[in-house]
Structure 1
Amino acid sequence: MTDLKLLALDSEDLDVISATTQDAIVRVGDMGYAKADQRFALLMNRYAWEDGGNAKTGVRKRAALHFDRVTGVKVAGIDTNSLEGALELLTIRFTENAAPSGWVDLAFAGGGTVRLEVEVLEARLQDLGAAWAAKVKPEHAG
């Protein structure tokens, strides 16, 4: 089982990261914005679709995702004081405003969102180690 290490510099690249992080579980306390470094980062337990998409339960992997050149962060529908609260990541999308700047929306189940204002899209996803059996395989109505 190979660890992923992905870089996104445009919307198509970010679509790949979005697909690989769909259904990731993110603890509210594991997200943060380092304003001085212009970096927003989060840790997650992502469902490894590439490894377990056809299995009965599949596997999860610990992963880190960060965005550079972030100039602002807006949060809606998420209790940022509930550090132990768990969120389920649904999608990540980039919308270009005045090229190459724009915003990145991280959409979570239940309607919560994190919007990152970025000078330019620059995101990195990296698996951090061992995988473990998922309790259930995420299901989507289709």
Structure 2
Amino acid sequence: MTAVIPLDAHRPASQPAPSRVGVLLVNLGTPDTADANGVRVYLREFLSDPRVIENQGLLWQLILNGIVLRIRPARKAKDYQKIWNTERNESPLKTITRAQSDKLAASIADQKHVVVDWGMRYGNPSIKSRIDALTAQGCDRIL
């Protein structure tokens, strides 16, 4: 699915209209670190999204905060440590997503008006931070 985000409302009137297109590759997300705390932060963000868990009521909050976020992070951290990219200190999903972005950028390098970047729905770099970075580079359309 491709979404075009109009950014005219975010541009100050004194700023000239840019003529660049940003392409933002987005992946689901991943922890920032392969330890229990990093996994906990990621899981909290992911499992607190009502699009992931629809019923965010009191029962779910008790389960999430009383059980899931106390037990699951340490267990999953061990799994992440097995596959972690220690050279870049990041998860394989970040490594792969960055590589895809770099390869796409290289394949369309002759298109000087196109800027390619990547982000994560949950975790970092966030979609908002990457949209901000693309607009700072003069992109007035983002795909």
Same fold by TM-score greater than 0.5: no
Which is helix-richer, 1 or 2?
2
TM-score (norm 2): 0.23
Which is strand-richer, 1 or 2?
1
Q: Which has the higher contact order (CA 8 A, sep 6+)?
A: 2
